[in-house]
Structure 1
Amino acid sequence: MRAIILAAGMGSRLAQPDGEQKPKCLLRFKDSTGDGSGDASLLERHLHFLKNAGVDEIVFVTGYKHEQIDAELAAIDWKPQTETMVNGEFTLGSVLSVHTARDAMTRGGDVLLMDADVLYDERIIDPLVAGGSVNRLLIDRDFEVGDEPVKLCVENGVPVELRKQVAAGLKYDTIGESVGFFRFDEKTAARLADIVADYVQTGRAKMPHEEAVRDLLLEQRHVFDIADVTGAPWIEIDFPNDVKRAADEVLPQLNPLRQFAG
C-alpha cells in the first residue's frame, strides 16, 4: 500500500504573516504532555500514523516553498526514505498535483490519496487501511452545515455525490463530510489517473481533485466501501480559526505523539 500526500498548495486562505509563510503541512502542534515531545508538524504526524498502520511507501506532492518540506524531511530523517514529486504549477488546482503523482498512482497496489493539511488520529487512519485490497471512502456524519465541507452522499451503500454543493432533489439516505482521505485498489487508481490526465489535457487543471474523484464515483464501475468515522477527532486546516480549533479542540483528544515514535 502506498500513500500519496498532497502538500503543494499555497494555503492563501490561512493568511500567514509576511515572512512567516510556510506550507500548511509544516504547521506544528504541541500535545498535552507539555514537555515538547509531542511538538510535531502535520507532516511528521502523517509519517507516524502511516508507519504505525503498516504503510511505509510514502510520496509527498509538494510545490509552494517545497524546499521547506525537503528540509523538514531531512531533519526528521525518516526511514524508509519518503519520495517527493514537485508540482511546479501549484497555484492551479489540486487535480494537477494528482497528475504530478501519476507514476505513483499507477505503479501497482492499493493507493491512499490524502490531503496534507489535516490533524487527526488513529481512529481516522485505522479504518482506511484495514483489510485486503479495496476502494474506500471515509464519512463523518457530524459536520457543520455550510458551503465549505465537501459532502459525501450515500444511497443504499453506494456513493452518489461528492461535492461542496449538493443538488436539490438528490436522493440519498446518508450525508456527511468527506475526510479528504481516499483509498483505491490498483485498477481504480489507474482509472482515476486517466480521469485526472483528461482534466489536465482539456484545460481543467484549475479544478480540485475531488471533482475527478467524483467523476470516478459516478461512473459506478468500481465498488466502494464507506467507513463511518463519526466521533473520531480530525480537522482540515484552511483558515486561521481552524488553527485555533485544531489546538484547542482536536489536539487534546489525540494520544500524545511520543507514544507512536520509533
Structure 2
Amino acid sequence: MRAIILAAGMGLRLLQPEDKQSPKCLLKFDGMSLLERHLRMLAAAGITDVVLALGFHHEQVSQELDRLNWTPRPRIYLNPEFNLGSVLTLHVTAEAMTAGGDVLVMDADVLYDQRIFNALVAGETANRLLIDRDFEVGDEPVKLCLRDGVPVELRKQVMVGLEYDTVGESVGFFRFNEATAARLADITRDYVESGRARMPHEEAVRDLLLERGAQFETADVTGFPWIEIDYPEDVKRAADEVLPQLEPLTMVSE
C-alpha cells in the first residue's frame, strides 16, 4: 500500500504573518507536527511507501524530514503551480498513483484519531471512503451522500432534489485499489488537459464515484475525533478540543 499526502497549498485562510508562513502540515500539536503524525501512523500500519505532494514553501517540509531523520524518506513530487487547484497537485503524483497496489490519498491538514486511520487501511485491498455523520451544517464541509450504501455525491453544495438516505462529512482520506487508482489518474489528467486545473481534487474523486460508486465501501467513523484545519479558530479547536480526545499515538522508531 502506498500513501499520497497532499500538502502543496498555501493555507491563506490561516492568516499567518508573511514572515512566518509555512505549510499546514508543519503545524505542531503537543510538540509534534501534523506531518510527523501522518508518518508515524503510516509506519505503525507497515506503510513505508509515502509520497508528499508539495508546493508552497516545500523546502520547509524537507527541513522537517531532515529534522526527523525519517527513513525511508518520503518521495517528493512538486507542484510549481500550487496556487491553482488541488487537482493539479494530485495530477503531479500520477506516477505514484499508477505504480500498482492500493493507494491512499490523504489531506495533510487533518488532526485525527488513529481509529479513523485504522478504518481506512483495514483489510487486504479495497476502494474505501470515510464518513462522519456528526458534522456541522454549512457550506464548508465536503458532504458525502449515500443511497443504499452507494456514494452519489461528494461536494460542499448538494444538488437540490438529489435522492440519498445518508449524509455526512468526508474526512478527506480515500483508499483506491490498483485499477481504481489508475482510473483516478486518468480523470485528473483530463481535468488538467481540459483547462480545469483550478478545481479541487475532490471533483475528480466525485467523477470517479459517480462512475464506479458501487465498487466502493464506506467506513463510518462517527464519534472519532478529528478536524480539518483551515482557519485560525480550527487551530485552537484542534489543540483544545480534539487533541485531548485522541488515543495515544503508536510510536514507531524511524
What TM-score results when the alignment is normalised by the length of structure 2?
0.98
Matches within 5 A, 1:9-28: 9-28=9-28
User: What CA deviation, in whole Å up to 9, does each residue of 1:222-258 have, x standing for no partner?
Assistant: 600100000011000000000000000000011344x
The reply on whether 1:260 has 2:251 as its aligned counterpart is yes
Counterpart of 1:172 (choices 159, 164, 170) is 164
Counterpart of 1:162 (choices 143, 150, 154) is 154
The reply on whether 1:239 has 2:231 as its aligned counterpart is yes
Paired with 2:136 and 2:55, the residues of 1 have a C-alpha distance of: 30
The aligned counterpart of 1:75 is 67
Structure 2 residue identity aligned to 1:192? L
CA RMSD of aligned residues (A): 1.0
The aligned counterpart of 1:105 is 97
Paired with 2:213 and 2:245, the residues of 1 have a C-alpha distance of: 38
Q: Compute the displacement of 1:132 (Å).
A: 1.5
Aligned length: 253
- Asked if structure 2 preserves the Cα contact closer than 8 Å seen for 1:134 and 1:184, the reply is yes
- Asked if structure 2 preserves the Cα contact closer than 8 Å seen for 1:93 and 1:207, the reply is yes
Counterpart of 1:62 (choices 51, 54, 59) is 54
Paired with 2:219 and 2:166, the residues of 1 have a C-alpha distance of: 12
Structure 2 residue identity aligned to 1:10? M
- Asked if structure 1 preserves the Cα contact closer than 8 Å seen for 2:151 and 2:213, the reply is no
Matches within 5 A, 1:132-211: 132-211=124-203
Unaligned runs of 5+ in 1: 31-38
Paired with 2:147 and 2:247, the residues of 1 have a C-alpha distance of: 34
Distance 1:18 1:246, change over 3 A: same
Q: Compute the displacement of 1:220 (Å).
A: 2.6
What TM-score results when the alignment is normalised by the length of structure 1?
0.95
- Asked if structure 1 preserves the Cα contact closer than 8 Å seen for 2:43 and 2:252, the reply is no
Paired with 1:154 and 1:143, the residues of 2 have a C-alpha distance of: 15
